[in-house]
Structure formats: structure tokens, C-alpha cells
């Protein structure tokens, strides 16, 4: 396989892992629903008719929404990394994102290792550099 084939496969796998990250980031929706229940219908919770305070519901909603937003941002960055790998652009961004992806176990870790191995090869670095030179040339 050539270096171009490796970059093409890595690009495809970044799209897949980005989609999985976006899907997994939706898991806290359960917490948002539970928090909304605590805010809108507190009489359903609590013993002896003593409902829990509303701030507990807001705590669930805010933290779950933050986790979902962070997951979507991460997924978007992973998908962008796949796009940049396919176009051989933004070497440093791809390198840093590969390192950050290693936190998304187990799929991101495996993808990060393969991405870093490929990006550290001299022919791949030259591909990115050649693309940078072509892009910088005035028309």
C-alpha cells in the first residue's frame, strides 16, 4: 500500500470515529430528561410529598448539555481531521488531533496510534509540505 492509500483509509476511519463520537455524546440525554422532570414535575419525586429543590434539576440539565456540546465539538474536530488528511492540509492540526483522539478509548486510541505512525513518515510530511507550497503560490 502506498502512503496515499494509508491517508485515504485514515481519512475514512476518522469519519467513522467522528460519527461514533457524536453518537456516544448523546448518552447524557437521559440526564437532561431527568433534570427536566425534576424542574417541571418535582412532585413526582421525593418522599412524603417533599419535592427536591429545583437547582438539582438544573444541575442535571446544565452538566448534561455541556457534555453533549463537548462531545459534538470533539466529533466535529475528528471529522475535520479526516477531511484535512484527505486533502493533505494542516499537518500540525492533524497531528495534535491524533494525540487528543487517543483519549477516546478504544477506537480513538487505535486510530490515533495509526495516524501518528503515518504522519511521522517523511514521505507523508513531504506530501503535506508540497500541498502547502501549491496553496501558497499566487494565481
Mean pLDDT over the full length of the chain: 91
**pLDDT value at residue 14:** 97
- pTM, 2 dp: 0.87
Please give the tally of structural domains in the chain. Answer: 1
Is the confidence at residue 18, as pLDDT, over 90? Answer: yes
- Report the SS3 class of residue 115: helix
Tens digits of residue pLDDT in 56-75: 999 999 999 999 999 999 99
CB 58 within 8 A of CB 115: no
Query: For the residues of 30-83, what is the DSSP string, one character each?
Result: HHHHHHHHHHH-GGGSSSTT-PPPHHHHHHHHHHHHHHHHHHHHHHHHHHHHHH
Q: Residue 34 sits in which domain range? A: 3-136
Q: What is the pLDDT of residue 133?
A: 72
What is the tens place of the pLDDT at every residue in 38-57? 898 887 776 666 778 888 99
Q: Are 29 and 63 in contact (CB under 8 A)?
A: no
Amino acid at each position: 500500500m502506498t502512503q496515499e492509500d494509508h491517508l485515504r483509509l485514515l481519512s475514512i476511519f476518522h469519519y467513522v470515529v467522528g460519527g461514533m463520537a457524536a453518537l456516544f455524546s448523546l448518552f447524557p440525554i437521559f440526564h437532561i430528561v431527568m433534570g427536566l422532570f425534576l424542574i417541571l414535575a418535582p412532585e413526582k419525586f421525593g418522599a412524603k410529598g417533599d419535592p427536591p429543590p429545583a437547582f438539582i434539576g438544573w444541575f442535571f440539565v446544565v452538566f448534561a448539555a455541556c457534555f453533549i456540546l463537548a462531545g459534538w465539538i470533539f466529533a466535529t474536530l475528528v471529522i475535520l481531521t479526516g477531511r484535512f488528511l484527505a486533502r493533505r492540509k494542516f499537518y500540525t492540526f492533524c497531528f495534535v488531533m491524533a494525540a487528543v483522539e487517543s483519549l477516546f478509548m478504544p477506537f480513538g486510541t487505535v486510530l490515533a496510534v495509526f495516524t501518528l505512525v503515518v504522519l511521522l513518515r517523511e514521505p507523508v510530511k513531504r506530501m503535506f509540505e508540497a500541498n502547502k507550497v501549491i496553496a501558497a503560490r499566487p494565481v
